[in-house]
Structure 1
């Protein structure tokens, strides 16, 4: 690798999680890493580390090997691999624990360092781990930049949630395992299904889609499995169903949670046998399809309540890909807005309008109960309404402009019981992400002074 390929010192500013049950030792490590520009979050135990790994995003995790127990560091490593698979983990160990640390390298740790720390060696080790991650990200970022502007198979976004969705698509697409895509209405479940087909070995074969919502059992059976001539009044010729139509390709069944209960065992039989029997016939016909389904309902709860067959649920849920709602990935809103503005401006054969900062902030702060579908509709209206190729706050639809924040039950429920300090910490973390780490802009957006922001960063262990 040439010198020009290596990340610059500015680029090497990594998000580092420090896990150590000795606060003073953690502070020394954080101070050492702060000097070259790394942003450090300090926690003092396994439970706090779990919370950060669930809600934060880190490039490097440094953890003491022995804390509450002799395996605490290994448990942190496992959590990193589960929740932050792109991050590298460095273990800090006493001399007597070196064999355990070496074994951890085989389990996915980046490296280990012995106490007492040589801070120069420690800082260089973290720099190397950060460079490994950031180079990996740079390669992916080139694809992500295209994906952000033009979409990965039409999926727009660069948030951790969307990156996980894209990563899952890439992993499952080459296989034939059934995939269940879950998420609220308007999140783009059909795009995920199409991406799975397009990246699969069946991409040259047919991709058939069918929505089961609002279908009676008899009509649904006919549409899925087909019929032979004379099967019922008006059936004057044989007709194949979507399973046969998609033979060799992919079948996407949308709103599968709305399928009538009596129809579900028939679908299960087809999925297990790979054969369909047309209405009015006794002849089984082969139907080799990659099966992808989607729902905005909680099939697990429905199964427990007897509203959805448990055996069918387990059959279709070979892998589940959940698309987070837009309110949970607000950092994607600017990308989606700019993408939609470009798309609709091109349709209207006019220059792409710029979105003013106040207008964008209003859009970012809105709850988007209708998710991406609602956002695209709003941007379309704004592109039509704006003057001088610039979208201002006055062009934002009134229901969004006058909205005080998320008022849907889900959002309120997700905040209920959450401590104010946690909310404030997440607000600062997410705003830092939105501004690319610019503290002056972060302070302005949060409506606080820079000194207050610096104090909060220190208070919450955000270095």
Structure 2
């Protein structure tokens, strides 16, 4: 078992040597220094389990040392040593983040007990922080799943821009996870402790959307019997998600633009402006470039929103993600309904992969929920699938009239050959008239080797 390391910070040489000897005899590894500046240098490069520091030090005080240790988020326990009767300093040390304190003069057993208690307190705090971070990570990324190139690009972009305040425009078909992506950006940002407010621009009548954004003073319109804050105020120091921004009526667009430019809003019926600190994430399933060209969306507002563009791929364009998505959703839906997660046979997965999913991940989630509810004897049958995927899987592969990508055709041929040969690669290669090595090369090229079992 590794010995625990103590960093002793004491400017009086005799006291420093005495305490160091006491701790060494108790089995600790002790590093000693005479100032907080030296202690900070040691903490930068050495592993330390607990800091034992006097409050009164030359230069930087013990209290300032404690503050800097906690600012750096170093996972070390901290025990403050105070003079006899200095209860105010002891209380202040605990308030600033010390794990315990001890007053001079102290006995050997008293010191050792204090160190053990501080270490236990810090270990619990570190474990709680680790679990909280793990849960935060799970909450913000639990449904953002995918190994496809398109989703990997999405993940990389989120990591790059989450910590900034840049305005983000998320585009993608309905059901691709635009709000989920916005929540992930917020949860990974420095604003994560602030509010995340979502507003659907298509769901609010044109006459009410201004007051929904900016709030309204009492008597501003019929039914406004009290002053009400809008979503901009509610999202102050947080994130405001504007879903379906392409549906925003033209008369409201200049008012939104002004709020974004000035970071100030005025309630409907009011005269006083309020400063707001809000990050904007907008989303649309429309082609906003075309909307601008056709005069249905203001060009200046579009450029204001389109600082970072994040395009979410349709589910049919990342079919390699469907098996892992389906398995994840299966576990999630089973937990939701308190049921055991049924098995997804290869034939069912094949049907899910073949279907074109016009409703994207949302439609897949609904389909999987149905499977969980209707599966018998712990196995999903083809009869448990909604009709659309079943019909899609029953049809032969045909080249669409509008044409298709050759690689899509080649990938589909490989899949069908493997299905017909029950996963036997040699037979599938012969069926397609391909040399075995060429067949294996194509499996790796399209990442089918992992998708279909040997």
* Same fold per superposition (TM over 0.5): yes
Which residue of 167, 176, 190 maps to 2:179? 190
**Are 2:147 and 1:158 equivalent residues in the alignment?**
yes
2:228 corresponds to which residue? 239
Q: Indicate if the aligned counterparts of 2:429 and 2:435 stay in contact, CA closer than 8 A.
A: no
| Alpha-carbon distance in 1 for matches of 2:159, 2:416 | 29
Which residue of 222, 225, 241 maps to 2:214? 225
Cα-to-partner distance string for 1:112-156 (whole Å, 9 max, x where unaligned): xxxxxxxxxxxxxxxxxxxxxxxxxxxxxxxxxx99998825312
Q: Secondary structure at the match of 1:227?
A: coil
| Alpha-carbon distance in 1 for matches of 2:193, 2:297 | 33
Q: Secondary structure at the match of 2:392?
A: coil
Mark the CA change 1:219 to 1:395 in structure 2 (over 3 Å): closer, same or farther.
same
2:199 corresponds to which residue? 210
Q: Indicate if the aligned counterparts of 2:351 and 2:393 stay in contact, CA closer than 8 A.
A: no
Shift of 1:398: 2.0
Q: Indicate if the aligned counterparts of 2:171 and 2:311 stay in contact, CA closer than 8 A.
A: yes
Shift of 1:190: 0.4
1:416-435 to structure 2, matched below 5 A, reads: 416-418=402-404, 420=406, 422-427=407-412
**Are 2:273 and 1:291 equivalent residues in the alignment?**
no
Unaligned runs of 5+ in 2: 1-134, 446-454
1:348-427 to structure 2, matched below 5 A, reads: 348-403=337-392, 416-418=402-404, 420=406, 422-427=407-412
Q: What TM-score do you get using the length of structure 1 for normalisation?
A: 0.60
| Alpha-carbon distance in 1 for matches of 2:197, 2:159 | 20
| Alpha-carbon distance in 1 for matches of 2:232, 2:138 | 35
Which residue of 331, 337, 346 maps to 2:326? 337
Mark the CA change 1:150 to 1:276 in structure 2 (over 3 Å): closer, same or farther.
closer
Indicate the structure whose relative CO is greater, using CA pairs within 8 Å and at least 6 residues apart. 1
Q: Secondary structure at the match of 2:189?
A: coil
**Over aligned residue pairs, what C-alpha RMSD do you find?**
3.4
Q: Indicate if the aligned counterparts of 1:248 and 1:288 stay in contact, CA closer than 8 A.
A: yes
Q: Indicate if the aligned counterparts of 1:149 and 1:156 stay in contact, CA closer than 8 A.
A: no
2:336 corresponds to which residue? 347
| Alpha-carbon distance in 2 for matches of 1:261, 1:445 | 61
Q: Secondary structure at the match of 1:285?
A: strand
Which residue of 180, 198, 201 maps to 2:190? 201
Shift of 1:215: 2.5
| Alpha-carbon distance in 1 for matches of 2:142, 2:299 | 32
| Alpha-carbon distance in 1 for matches of 2:192, 2:395 | 40
1:139 corresponds to which residue? none
Q: Indicate if the aligned counterparts of 1:440 and 1:450 stay in contact, CA closer than 8 A.
A: no
1:10 corresponds to which residue? none
Mark the CA change 1:446 to 1:242 in structure 2 (over 3 Å): closer, same or farther.
farther
1:248 corresponds to which residue? 237
1:449 corresponds to which residue? 431
Mark the CA change 1:272 to 1:195 in structure 2 (over 3 Å): closer, same or farther.
same
Q: Secondary structure at the match of 1:234?
A: coil
| Alpha-carbon distance in 1 for matches of 2:395, 2:362 | 17
Shift of 1:371: 0.4
Q: What TM-score do you get using the length of structure 2 for normalisation?
A: 0.61
Mark the CA change 1:343 to 1:310 in structure 2 (over 3 Å): closer, same or farther.
same
Q: Secondary structure at the match of 2:283?
A: strand
Shift of 1:427: 3.8
Shift of 1:448: 6.2
Cα-to-partner distance string for 1:1-23 (whole Å, 9 max, x where unaligned): xxxxxxxxxxxxxxxxxxxxxxx
Q: Secondary structure at the match of 2:434?
A: helix
Shift of 1:216: 2.8
Q: Indicate if the aligned counterparts of 1:443 and 1:450 stay in contact, CA closer than 8 A.
A: no
Which residue of 270, 274, 280 maps to 2:259? 270
| Alpha-carbon distance in 1 for matches of 2:250, 2:414 | 45
Shift of 1:234: 2.2
Q: Secondary structure at the match of 1:355?
A: coil
Unaligned runs of 5+ in 1: 1-145
Shift of 1:159: 1.5
| Alpha-carbon distance in 2 for matches of 1:322, 1:376 | 21
